[in-house]
């Protein structure tokens, strides 16, 4: 199982390197946005 997951990780890294810089920025923006949303929902519960 471990060897298989490592191979998948390597494939993902290769794919990630092929992704354009703009694509990476869009992904980063999405990650930051969802992170803010999660924090906001946590604050709402308090």
- What confidence tens digit (pLDDT) does each residue in 19-42 have? 766 777 788 888 888 888 887 776
What value, to the nearest 5°, has the Cα angle with vertex 32 and ends 7 and 10?
10
**Global pTM exceeds 0.75:** no
Tell me the chain's radius of gyration from C-alpha atoms.
16
The Cα–Cα gap between 23 and 18 comes to 10
For the chain, the structural domain boundaries read 20-46
Q: How sure is the predictor about 46, in pLDDT bands with cuts at 50, 70 and 90? A: low
């Amino acid at each position: 199982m471990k060897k298989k997951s490592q191979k998948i990780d390597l494939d993902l890294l290769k794919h990630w390197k092929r992704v354009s810089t703009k694509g990476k920025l869009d992904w980063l923006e999405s990650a930051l946005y969802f992170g803010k949303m999660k924090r906001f929902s946590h604050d709402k519960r308090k």
